[in-house]
């Protein structure tokens, strides 16, 4: 068993879509970033990479690389899933927190969990997403940013590598 932690934060700005866990959420602002700035998926990616000691999102998908301009973060997550699998691990579960003062995210968490679980080929019962406000404090509480944290648990897989 191996555990990993991930964290990310993006600024909230006008003129961008708000995409969290692959769900486009109706709001008057969105997250600023080179990719689609899906802060939840970025935290999950870093937790997965961390658990397997495979680097981090910035080293694998640099924001200076034009290939990742406007990238769909779920596609990056799919690539990370392949890296985890190639390294001989399977995903046991994921827990996560999104810190956003607004909008209210509870109506969307089940779609986010389904999106992440589907990309990772695991049951949505193994993906938890918990929205929190920041009680009006700090950049998230003041509506300047949204952040996310994730932890994952990996187990050695019994895939072809071990059978060989
Ligand atoms: Mg990010």
Centre of ligand 1 from the C-alpha of residue 158, in Å: 32
**Secondary structure (DSSP) of 111-163:** HHHHHHHHHHTS-GGGEEEEEE--TT-HHHHTTSEEEEEEEEEEEE--SHHHH
Rounded to the nearest whole angstrom, what is the distance from the C-alpha of residue 55 to the centroid of ligand 1?
A: 15
132-156 pLDDT, tens digit each: 999 999 999 999 999 999 999 999 9
Using the mean position of ligand 1's atoms as its centre, give its distance from the Cα of residue 160 in Å.
33
**For the whole prediction, is pTM greater than 0.85?**
yes
How far does the centroid of ligand 1 lie from the alpha carbon of residue 159, in Å?
31
Chain segment 92-127, per-residue pLDDT in tens: 999 999 999 999 999 999 999 999 999 999 999 999
């Amino acid at each position: 068993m191996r555990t990993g932690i991930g964290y990310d934060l993006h600024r909230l700005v006008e003129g961008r879509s708000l995409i969290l866990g692959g769900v486009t959420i109706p709001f008057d602002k969105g997250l600023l970033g080179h990719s689609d700035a899906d802060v939840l998926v970025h935290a999950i990616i870093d937790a997965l990479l961390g658990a397997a000691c495979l680097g981090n999102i910035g080293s694998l998908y640099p924001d200076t690389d034009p290939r990742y301009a406007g990238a769909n973060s779920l596609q990056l997550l799919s690539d990370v899933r392949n890296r985890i699998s190639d390294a001989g691990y399977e995903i046991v579960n994921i827990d996560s927190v999104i810190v956003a003062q607004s909008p209210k995210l509870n109506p969307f968490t089940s779609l986010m969990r389904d999106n992440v679980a589907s990309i990772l080929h695991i049951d949505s019962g193994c993906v938890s997403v918990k929205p929190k406000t920041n009680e009006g404090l700090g950049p998230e509480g003041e509506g300047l940013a949204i952040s996310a944290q994730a932890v994952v648990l990996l187990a050695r897989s019994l895939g072809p590598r071990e059978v060989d």
